[in-house]
Amino acid sequence: MTQSKPVKSLRIELRWSAALAVVVLWALERGLPSRFRLLPVGFDFIIFATVLIPMLAVGLTAGRRSWLRIERVTTWLFVAVVGGITLANLAVLIQEMLFGRGQLDAIELLASGIAIWVSNVVTFSLAFWHVDRGGPEARLNCLPIRADWFFPQEGVPDAVRPDWRPTFIDYLFLGFSTATAFSPTGAIPLSARAMLLMMLESSISLLTIAVIAARAINILGT
């Protein structure tokens, strides 16, 4: 009688930082006047709950594979929906600024610009988190998947713990840096899809900061 080999348990990355980033984006969205919200009134609860519930379920079920698959699908749906609405709102604001009749004042432009910028950072951070090396669990369990980004910690292994792997905080910093500096400031993109994602995020951020914020400051100065 042969003994079956023990099944290695799946290591799970904690979801609190990703969930907190989504909650902060939700709070920012709810704090804006309905005229400037990225999502329609009432629809925002459904969208944010759709991505938060699977994150919570992954933690409560110790990473049951069915919930991991659901979380991956809902996260990508969240990124697609919120990212698309962010682009649409940016286009509307630019059109209003260029061809409108002055209905938007400086404070309204700044509030809308901040909401779009934060949404841009959070959605791309979630995308980076799930794209790189197959996602959080694939990285944590050292699956043989090629990296999309090279992090500086990987170049100085003596400075970090031996089992170090990038977590959501690392991708949030990557998303923040890309949206602020418009270029890699830490992690270096290695794949074409990583470069394209960073280019898209930088373009949205550039339009938001250089066009909307600059116009709002110009209005304040007149």
In a domain, 6, yes or no: no
* Better-predicted residue by pLDDT, 45 or 55: 55
Q: Which of the pair, 41 or 19, is modelled with greater confidence?
A: 19
Q: Let me know if residue 67 belongs to a domain.
A: yes
Q: In this structure, is residue 196 part of a structural domain?
A: yes
* Domain-located, residue 168: yes
Mean pLDDT of 183-205: 90
DSSP H helices in 100-191: 106-131, 136-140, 168-181
Residue 213 confidence (pLDDT): 67
Sequence-ordered list of residues with C-beta below 8 angstroms from that of 210, at least 6 positions apart, any chain: none
DSSP 109: H
Q: What's the domain range around 190? A: 16-221
Q: Which amino acid is at 153?
A: Q
In a domain, 2, yes or no: no
SS3 call for 12: coil
Q: What total number of domains does the chain contain?
A: 1
User: Is residue 49 in some structural domain?
Assistant: yes
pLDDT of amino acid 4: 44
